[in-house]
Structure 1
């Protein structure tokens, strides 16, 4: 990997994205003071992006390589990092400036409600809705017997018509026998629950990072190497009975999650 001493990078690479008080501690500079060339180019491109509107197309890799005096592969690595971070996105015309990430609150709200609160239009594409027997692990989570019927609903999540995630919902079929005929899969499942007289009172959520499987990446429309955020949620009603188990996979370059923290008494 190409490296250069910290004092020597081009001036454009040592501007606000690296030295800003809002930047991460030491701006990623290792203790030995030597910075990979791609990182200084990345910082310079970040500064360039700051002055560009969302959707604006960056100069080509060749133009950036000439501007910063580095190899095209060095530019390519810098752009790859910014794509993974969600600062840039691929477009038909090249590499463009991406919009801000969707900040989704961690709460007992549906994806639909959360995206609407951000001022965007949510939608979903149904991949499949099937009745199947629960395995031992799923049955234990939903507190039903192994082999009892559950509905499995899989949907691609969209925001402003952009694919941003994949959601799998499991609910006991005995509790929702008419799900396949009474629910519009493009609508909020939580709104459907309220119409059925079910109120969610509490939930447990676990967040992990992982890479999507080839099938998941194809459905979401992302490269397999793009990091994903995986959320597993178990929701309960006011009686403490499990209502749903949801596995949601979100694009790491388009989503972040927020929560409010308070001191426990």
Structure 2
């Protein structure tokens, strides 16, 4: 019979999980030295276990110590806006404008927005906030001929979907793809995190009831701050 040796990091991680279960959000986590002494292991073993918990969003750095983090913000995979999703989870949404410019559509953007290559489109890039924490970076492309009026009416720190609906356009359907990714140095700087932190990358193309394109969106979310969920039902075969 072949036996599998359980890594020390896994055993330490299991013990730390038990400790965290008895702590509340914001409570201090024992130091590396204290945990290493308690479990009789090297500090590097404890350090690796804590790194895993940091990546998962279970704990976070605060000053020179570590505390229990709040639960991840769970966003629905639906046509609801980021604002609506955050509010439904009891969090205060916010946005920081990075760029708002007119650019020439590349091949993918032109195809998604159904416009000729190099057509001028509107590009909006914003950092997404939840209770003041930077959780995502959203890059949105809109057909300029449909939404040029937003230049004079829209506050980019608020919900874009609400502003789109105010123009009389309703989002009817969307295609969305999710994959894992790592942030570029620029993206990591904007999100105030390490380039080694796993990210969730979402690509979305939304259309109205007539099937006309509304937006092309690339959203990058911190894997330690955001989770996604979808409601599923039976399909007809």
Confirm whether residue 233 of structure 1 aligns to residue 204 of structure 2: yes
Paired position in structure 2 for 1:86:
57
CA shift digits 1:113-145 (9 cap, x unpaired): 110111110000000100011112210111011
> Do the aligned residues in 2 keep the contact of 1:57 with 1:93 (CA within 8 Å)?
no
Confirm whether residue 127 of structure 1 aligns to residue 98 of structure 2: yes
Q: Which of 54, 74, 80 is equivalent to 1:103?
A: 74
CA shift digits 1:160-189 (9 cap, x unpaired): 001101000000111111223221011000
Paired position in structure 1 for 2:29:
58
Q: Distance in 2 between matches of 1:88 and 1:75?
A: 14
> Do the aligned residues in 2 keep the contact of 1:211 with 1:227 (CA within 8 Å)?
yes
> Aligned with 1:34: secondary structure?
coil
- Describe how 1:1-265 pairs up with structure 2 within 5 A: 32-265=3-236
Structure exhibiting the larger radius of gyration computed from Cα positions: 1
Q: How many residues align?
A: 235
CA shift digits 1:43-83 (9 cap, x unpaired): 11111000001011111111111111011100000000111
Q: Could you tell me the TM-score, scaled by structure 1's length?
A: 0.87
User: Which consecutive segments of 4 or more residues in structure 1 shift more than 4 A?
Assistant: none
Cα shift at 1:255? 1.0
Cα shift at 1:33? 2.7
> Aligned with 2:146: secondary structure?
coil
The structure, 1 or 2, with the larger RCO (C-alpha pairs under 8 Å, 6+ apart) is 2
Paired position in structure 2 for 1:26:
none
CA shift digits 1:70-125 (9 cap, x unpaired): 11100000000111111111111411111111111100011011101111100000
Q: Could you tell me the TM-score, scaled by structure 2's length?
A: 0.97
Structure 2 residue runs of 5 or longer lacking an equivalent are none
> Aligned with 2:145: secondary structure?
coil
> Aligned with 2:6: secondary structure?
strand
